[in-house]
Structure 1
Amino acid sequence: MPPRLLAAALLCLAALPAVCRADIGKAAGRGVDAVEIFRCTFDESWDRNYDLWPDKWKRATGPEYPHYVEMQIAADQAITEGRCLQVALDGASAQVSTPAIRVLPKFSYTLELKLRLEQIEHSTVTVSLDFMTADGEILQSHRSEPFQPTGEWVDIEMGKFRPVSELVDRVVAHLEIERGDRGDLQGVVSVADVWLGRWPSMEVTTNSRINVYDDPGNIVVTCSLSGISEKNPKIKFQLLDATQAEIGEEGVKELQGRVISEESRNASEILEGDGRHSEGYEGSEDWRPDIREHGFYRVRVQMISNDTGLEMDKKVITLAVVPKAVLTSIGEFGWSLPESVPRSGQPLDFATLQTLLPMAGVSWVKLPVWFPREETERGDQIIQFAERLAATDIETIGVLQEPERTVEADDLPPSESSIEYIFRKDPSSWLPLFDHVMNRLSLRLRWWQLGYDHDTSFVGHEDLVGKIHDIRRQLYRFGQDVRVGLGWRWDEPPIGGDLSWDFEQLSANPPLQSAELDSHLERRPAEGAPRWVLIEPLVNSDDPSYANERERHEARVREFIKQIIVAKKHGVDGIYVPRPFSGMEGVMNTDGTPGELLLPWRTAAMLLGGAEYMGSLQLPSGSKNWLFIRPDKKVVMVAWNDKPCDEVLYLGEKVRQIDVWGKQHAPEHLEHRQVIPVGPEPTFVLGVNEYVARWRMSVAFEKTSLPSVFGVEHENTLLMRNEFPFGIGGMVSLFVPDMLEGDPLSHDKRSDKWEIYPEEGEIKGATGLTLRRPLQIELNDAAYGDQPIRIDFEVNADRLYKFSVWRELSVGAGDIDIQAVAFLDEEGRLIVQQQMRNLDGPHADFKCLLYAPLRRRKRTQVFQLGAEPDIKTYSYSAGDELIGKNLTLRVEEIDGNRVLIYRFPAEQESDVVFDAATN
């Protein structure tokens, strides 16, 4: 393997998970099939020449590891073994290694040891494993996280690790102590009872490198076993929905999702070999999971001992079954590929990415393109990759990143990693670093980004326009119609005037979430360089507001879609996932298999790519929603509600509801209206009628509030605009539902507290014409505050359209704020509290009358009501008789004509209790 490829492979392998558990008994951690292959307790058998140094162990030497660091075997009665290896640091670094231990690629391996750190404040202590060939070439490395000093012995476990190459022959374990900015003069690190065990190996794979399918019938899961010493363990396959995970005992995460299908088989049906042989039994078996619809799934495979019933091994993989593309368009959705892709193909090589990216709804790909001058084949690979993506309508953006440490770049200090630092000097110093790249690629790639997504080092440059112009002139002298962009900070205002760059990649640390993103985009003008944004949902799994992993998962999906919606609403030009292969932070797992956000990303990209924001509708049940019109003139609505509900209204003739996983169905009908279930998980509605939607958004009352004066006609005007592309005629009628008697959304019961004249009438007008309908409204005991109005239309255009529009009219000028709550106290009395404030206007006096069913009216007065809250309290005995009943508070202005009606329910308890002490 070439040294450069080996280095990249080791960098990737070092990121493989290493499980380190402290304070866990080793006997409890070892399974039924674990076999000890190495153990060192530092007893006399390991020190046959009595020099207090363990035989065949090695210590690192050299300037970084001075010889004065004392290492020797010492007695310690605090541990069962009675002896340990002590390292007295004396302010320096140190490394000690086991002998090379023979291993076989068919097994998995676990390292266990005891570790004690004393007076360690500045040094970093880690344990690592190197898997090597017989010639000592390192092919695979695993390193623990740094250990925290406790002064006590703790048990450490790393693994299980299976060699990734058949060439692996041996493994060496290292204890590494790296000195910090200051040394630990009195620091002592002790290690004891070093144990390496092998385990039977179980691998679970599929017939797809990326585990992404468009046909659920094509999925084959393969379980491969090797090194099994027990002849007949049970192999259990389970298919689980989505990504539910609960915390089990000892903090170990156990999947508790809904089991969709399950099958168990005895391994004796598939194993061959001799259990007494050092390599044990081996074999493989295929399983076709019972997947019948699109979605995100997990497959869990367990190996369980038939002798003891204990779990010997477990593997979990993810699958995504994507529907055929609902719609396709060239949009603004893209991924930033990791730097490792053009070098070593990790986590997925170019050929695999060419299959994945079109399936994932990606229209743009950012690709780091720098390569050493001597590796000309990498330039060919990049060009071929970009050309094949272009054939699937995916545009490639070349990311010009920091060059590697080459002879040409030796003058670049390691501490400087920003792209601005590289271009800060005279072009004669940096042009040789990039000239070969640009000569090879600038004629093929039209889009270029200077630095990675979060590199905002150009911000604040004293002559940025001139600097970027100079860089363009030097680098892209061969390019045709080249577009160049750079990183920009959200907290930095855009530069006006003529710019020398074509887009700005906006980023923040920590990443902006949907509410912050909305606020920043609201304040940031769309003029100037096109804005590209990053989608980076942050949901803390430890947040106590999430009862379980399902709620955390739902919150993450919701935040992810919200960020996309916010970006689309403000018309950004690029929407990117900066680290798609980062597991929880991206849309794919680190091994290249699908993550829980892949399908939500794909659904949003397929439906919203290239779409423009239209606005939002007022829905009957109040669900939040956003409407977008696509280049093909199809309208998509995205909706969600904190509480599950049904939105019942006419949306169009060919409406399809699509969930974030891509599953779609035709909604049920209630007469001419669709029934759209909406809940905390965002939902997409495709096929919304554009003309009806625009008509709905145009409807308004000329006056949005009515005086709270009864028995008097109040004039108003209903406004609407003919959004159909031709003239229309039809009818309009107004309906005020009763808010307390019956379901206000049932469309069955009309309020007797309102009189509207005329209730219905004829409308007609040419396309684009604003229509006006004068109204007179008389109130009779109408409730104070915002009240819903349903406006029903029958419009004759190219055919007859029947649809409703929901609006609100506010009863009262909004200058008086009234709130009231009713709840039981400890003695069973119903306590009623009212709070009033005069928000605007002169002080006034009010008479307050409280009505409860089958109870005597209660009365009080409020004098000189001003801005300070006035709180009054009433009480009813036998309060449980009133729970669930509606109470009415009637507030009459003394020496005035205002009457305010406030209706509210009596509840068992209330989250709101007014502080009477402020009265």
Structure 2
Amino acid sequence: MILSSLLTCYLALLTGLPVEGNLVEDTLPILSYSFETDQDRDFDDMPDDWSRRKGPGYPQYVQVSIDRNQGRTGSQSLHIGVNGGHATIYSPPQKIDGDHAYVFRGYIKTQRLKYDAAMVSISFLDHKRQRVQHFVSRPVTGTHQDWVEVTLGPLTPDPNVRFIVIGCHVAHNNLKDISGDIWFDDLWVGSLPQLDILNNYHRHFVDHDAEIRVSSRISGLNPKNKYRLDLELIDSSNRKIASSALDLVTDPDDVKGAPNSRLLDGNNHTEVWRLKPMEYGFYEVRSKLVRDEKAILEKKTSFAVIDLVNSRPQGEFGWVISEEHDQLPVSELPDIAAQAGINWIKFPLWNVMASTDIHHSSRIAEMLDQCSNQGITPVGLLNHPPRDLRSQFAKDWQGVSGIFTMPASFWSPSLEEVFARYTSLVNYWQLGGDEDKSFIGMQNLSETLKNVKSQLDLIGRDTHVGIHWDWKTPLPENHMTHSFVAINNEERLNAAELAVELQKVKLGSGMGPHWVTLTPLPKTGYEPEERAIDLVKRMVTAKYMGADAIFASSVFDEQHGLLNQNGSPTLLFLPWRTVSLALQGAKYIGSFNMPNKSSNFVFARDQEAIAVVWNEEPTEEEIYLGENAYATDVWGKRISLERDETTRRHKLLVTRSPIVLRKCNQQVAYWRLAAQFEKGKSKSEYGGHADAVLGKNTFAQSVQGKAVLNVPKGWEVEPREWTFNAGTGENFRLETFMTLPTNASLGKKDVSIDFDIFAERKYSIRVHRPYHVGLGDIVIKVTDRKLEGNVLEIEQIIVNNTSPLETLQFRCSLFIPSMKRMQRFITELKNGQDRKLYYLPNADRLKGKELWIRAEQVNGRRILNYRWTVGENWEAQEPVTRKANKRQTTSVR
């Protein structure tokens, strides 16, 4: 656990790196240890004034001394002989100030290490020489013939910091080495000017009409050098929107005649960059401090331009915070979360009471209480058991299920204080994190959850206990009303795969609710637009498929997260927010039939209909949405909606990037979904077919209406126009009689119905509905292939699915433009299929031509028509090398 905790400290440092360059050249050295003879004046083989950590786990038999025969630049170094225990040695405190940032560089060499690792730490101490900040380098292990460089920084000290200390560490987890060697050498600390971009919640999220203010704090400048502050504003497409370059001078004479300069009024200076209000979207501020024309420090921050909103009391979307860290903006988290459209938040609580900060548990309680006030339900994550409890499992650790399957007397003492402190604020508790697999497939799962719940109920009430599951394993058969499962996979499911798995959940286990955890695509290897599209489609899929809650995993994760460590938004914050605010607490009501088959999912909430629309192929859709409708892209940016002056229908440019349609007229949306055909299909035979248009008055008042049926050319419809009246909520039925032409092709045909409705005003609504020609009792399939010798092979398959079974005969004709038709005959087709082949020369000349197969039933009324374009699927087919049978090849002129 010691190694694990040190690694956590290291990972927290990976923000705020210096500009690439030579640390020695760019900084002012303040501390250096090479362990040569002048640093061991008393010749006790220990560096002067260094102190060694003592106590349990740090045995003094582990050898720590100066090695006088091994050095990187000199002849000596600090050596630790590995011998099964931890070891740490600290430098004497060195006085520093809070106006500078500090960087560390050192070198480590290791031999024969398998389980142990060597690291260097930097500690900042207050005036009482108590540690207030702690940073750890990356671990070095294994065998290295050359010295390994490790660096840290720039490290910004807190205002109360007065001293700095270097630590050299040997650490391990459960397994440890009993032999090996570690050397430390050339440990060096230097100071840099300090550059900070001052952030808080109100700077991360800016109202659309507000001025942008970017505050930079600069300190620790050397009057002997020339400095410049460069600022750039970048949007989500990595385009530069604005820039500024400001000379920073300390001599008043240098300001004269230099309009782009600023006289520093002290060692600490705050510069405010003011920008006009920006369009909705994500922005990044890149700040660079230049000294003597060389960039020495860079800082970045981000903000989102949005319409600030009030949180809704209920919804399905949530966040997972699986790890705590020092930078976590606990006090700002409720406000940030409320602007993200979430109503659930998972937070690790097992180790909160173990913090050395006596105020930490109170700050967490206040944060959870504020979340509840914002309509955000806290979920206590029990994912990091205390070290003494975890250590009892040693090598057999699989996850927290091992703890909770033990008697309550084993684990409850470690949680009594947590439960007592937080059960008044937290009713939902998850055993293990969203990566804990230890409950999956457990035999006595129901009993385990009941035992934990009963223990929780001793302190709280109405508690809910949940676990992590995956999509690969059938969900547990469990009918507990106070349990839940949080489902996700290590392997990401795309939107289509997620829909399949959620459909299985609907038909499967009785255990619920079912929560879905979504992990966004990582920054590395994916474009921002691709990441946003993927996240939005999966969010919408989880919503319309009925997931009880939808979580974003590890929102502070560097690769996948929605927030940076300081609470500022990442690129994916806005796509998440756009969808969650749109669909928060909404009900899925169906999908519209759009002329160009764009995927869409329609939801209703309050008096609003919301639709999310996309199409893998760019297209334009025309549809009336209501008088107040507007559209945004996934970044929340408004999209201009054009309208046809005559029909008043909106023109939507639809691409693979979803658009979100807001403030759509809910009454119109329900009308569109209610209107349909009574049958919607006809037999594949000539003659008339009775059908009817069905609908429902979805307006809040009685309506008068006119309906017109639009059918493909050649179809006869009587009547095709109707007038009708309908009271509020009343259904109506408009009868018609359709006669299809003998050349009507099988399959779905686009038929539309135009409604002119007179309610409090006139509404014109076009509803698209597919009409199926053929009942599916007789199916025709056609495939064309290009063979060797430029021969076109056409395969015709007719399937007999009639019930009761009929014996069928067909006369089949292949019509080719400007050519003589070809015929085949099918006799005595019973249950099953018949296969016929046609061969034509000059396949390339026919590519792109429309061909037509017509199968007429002998002694019957069925006529099957199939039209297709030659060569549409050639690229997807495997190369065909067989030659056509000469006796089957027909030359047509």
TM-score band (shorter)? 0.7 to 0.9
Match status 1:227 vs 2:220:
yes
Match status 1:642 vs 2:622:
no
Match of 2:671 among 666, 676, 695: 695
CA contact (8 A) 1:19 1:158 kept: no
CA contact (8 A) 2:34 2:77 kept: no
TM-score by length of 1: 0.76
CA contact (8 A) 2:786 2:880 kept: no
Match status 1:16 vs 2:12:
yes
Q: CA offset at residue 836 of structure 1?
A: 3.0
Letter in 2 for 1:805: V
The 10-residue stretch of structure 1 (208-217 or 863-872) with the greater mean CA deviation from structure 2: 863-872
Letter in 1 for 2:164: R
Match status 1:912 vs 2:876:
yes
Q: What SS does structure 1 have at the residue aligned with 2:336?
A: helix
Question: Relative to structure 1, is the Cα distance of residues 69 and 204 closer, same or farther in structure 2, using a 3 angstrom cutoff?
Answer: closer
Match of 1:685 among 661, 669, 673: 661
Partner of 2:566: 591
Question: Relative to structure 1, is the Cα distance of residues 844 and 303 closer, same or farther in structure 2, using a 3 angstrom cutoff?
Answer: farther
Q: CA offset at residue 616 of structure 1?
A: 0.9
- Cα distance in 2 between the residues matched to 1:474 and 1:327: 33
1:785-864 residue pairs with structure 2 within 5 A?
A: 785-809=747-771, 815-819=779-783, 836=795, 838=797, 840-841=799-800, 848-851=814-817, 857=819
CA contact (8 A) 2:168 2:184 kept: no
Q: What SS does structure 1 have at the residue aligned with 2:600?
A: strand
Partner of 1:505: 485
Partner of 2:26: 33
In the TM superposition, what whole-angstrom CA distance separates every residue of 1:85-116 from its partner, at most 9, and x where no partner exists?
49696775676767447444332233334555
- Cα distance in 2 between the residues matched to 1:760 and 1:354: 58
Match status 1:72 vs 2:47:
no
Q: CA offset at residue 533 of structure 1?
A: 1.4
Q: CA offset at residue 298 of structure 1?
A: 0.8
Letter in 1 for 2:285: V
Q: CA offset at residue 316 of structure 1?
A: 0.7
Partner of 2:290: 304
- Cα distance in 2 between the residues matched to 1:862 and 1:391: 75
1:324-723 residue pairs with structure 2 within 5 A?
A: 324-325=308-309, 328-337=312-321, 340=324, 347-350=328-331, 352-366=332-346, 372=353, 385=367, 387-397=369-379, 404=386, 424=405, 426=407, 434=415, 442=423, 444-445=424-425, 447-454=427-434, 468=449, 471-477=452-458, 482-490=462-470, 491-497=473-479, 499=480, 501-510=481-490, 513=493, 514-525=495-506, 528=510, 530-543=512-525, 546=526, 551=527, 553-630=528-605, 632-664=606-638, 667-671=641-645, 672-701=648-677, 712-713=686-687, 715=689, 717-723=691-697
Partner of 1:755: 715
Q: What SS does structure 2 have at the residue aligned with 1:651?
A: coil
- Cα distance in 1 between the residues matched to 2:329 and 2:864: 71
Q: What SS does structure 2 have at the residue aligned with 1:300?
A: strand
Work out the percentage of aligned pairs sharing the same amino acid.
22
Q: What SS does structure 1 have at the residue aligned with 2:335?
A: helix
- Cα distance in 2 between the residues matched to 1:903 and 1:411: 69
- Cα distance in 1 between the residues matched to 2:754 and 2:330: 57
Q: CA offset at residue 376 of structure 1?
A: 9.5
Match of 1:284 among 260, 270, 284: 270
- Cα distance in 1 between the residues matched to 2:785 and 2:24: 60
Q: What SS does structure 1 have at the residue aligned with 2:842?
A: strand
- Cα distance in 1 between the residues matched to 2:102 and 2:416: 47
Match status 1:266 vs 2:247:
yes
Match of 1:106 among 75, 94, 99: 99
Q: CA offset at residue 821 of structure 1?
A: 8.1
Q: CA offset at residue 649 of structure 1?
A: 0.9
CA contact (8 A) 2:51 2:92 kept: no
Q: CA offset at residue 789 of structure 1?
A: 3.0
Letter in 1 for 2:716: I
1:73-152 residue pairs with structure 2 within 5 A?
A: 73-74=68-69, 81=73, 85=77, 99-100=91-92, 102=94, 103-115=96-108, 120-133=113-126, 137-147=130-140, 151=144
The 10-residue stretch of structure 1 (504-513 or 82-91) with the greater mean CA deviation from structure 2: 82-91
Letter in 1 for 2:587: E
- Cα distance in 1 between the residues matched to 2:410 and 2:743: 82
Q: What SS does structure 2 have at the residue aligned with 1:585?
A: coil
- Cα distance in 2 between the residues matched to 1:376 and 1:155: 37
Question: Relative to structure 1, is the Cα distance of residues 582 and 914 closer, same or farther in structure 2, using a 3 angstrom cutoff?
Answer: closer
CA contact (8 A) 1:453 1:578 kept: no
Letter in 1 for 2:13: P
Match of 1:318 among 286, 302, 306: 302
Consecutive unaligned residues of structure 2, counting only runs of 5 or more, are 255-265, 801-807, 827-831, 884-893
Question: Relative to structure 1, is the Cα distance of residues 228 and 846 closer, same or farther in structure 2, using a 3 angstrom cutoff?
Answer: farther
Q: CA offset at residue 287 of structure 1?
A: 0.8
- Cα distance in 2 between the residues matched to 1:815 and 1:857: 26
- Cα distance in 2 between the residues matched to 1:331 and 1:95: 51
CA contact (8 A) 1:84 1:193 kept: no
Q: CA offset at residue 708 of structure 1?
A: 7.0
CA contact (8 A) 1:506 1:534 kept: yes
The 10-residue stretch of structure 1 (415-424 or 599-608) with the greater mean CA deviation from structure 2: 415-424
Q: CA offset at residue 496 of structure 1?
A: 4.9
CA contact (8 A) 1:733 1:759 kept: no
- Cα distance in 2 between the residues matched to 1:806 and 1:286: 55
CA contact (8 A) 1:20 1:156 kept: no
Letter in 1 for 2:283: Y
How many pairs does the alignment contain?
836
Partner of 2:889: none
Q: CA offset at residue 261 of structure 1?
A: 1.4
Question: Relative to structure 1, is the Cα distance of residues 216 and 53 closer, same or farther in structure 2, using a 3 angstrom cutoff?
Answer: farther
CA contact (8 A) 1:702 1:716 kept: no
Question: Relative to structure 1, is the Cα distance of residues 792 and 360 closer, same or farther in structure 2, using a 3 angstrom cutoff?
Answer: same
- Cα distance in 1 between the residues matched to 2:677 and 2:669: 17
In the TM superposition, what whole-angstrom CA distance separates every residue of 1:827-847 from its partner, at most 9, and x where no partner exists?
xx9x78565352634998966
- Cα distance in 2 between the residues matched to 1:860 and 1:38: 93
- Cα distance in 2 between the residues matched to 1:59 and 1:913: 72
Question: Relative to structure 1, is the Cα distance of residues 723 and 150 closer, same or farther in structure 2, using a 3 angstrom cutoff?
Answer: farther
- Cα distance in 1 between the residues matched to 2:429 and 2:362: 20
Q: What SS does structure 2 have at the residue aligned with 1:356?
A: helix
CA contact (8 A) 2:59 2:85 kept: yes
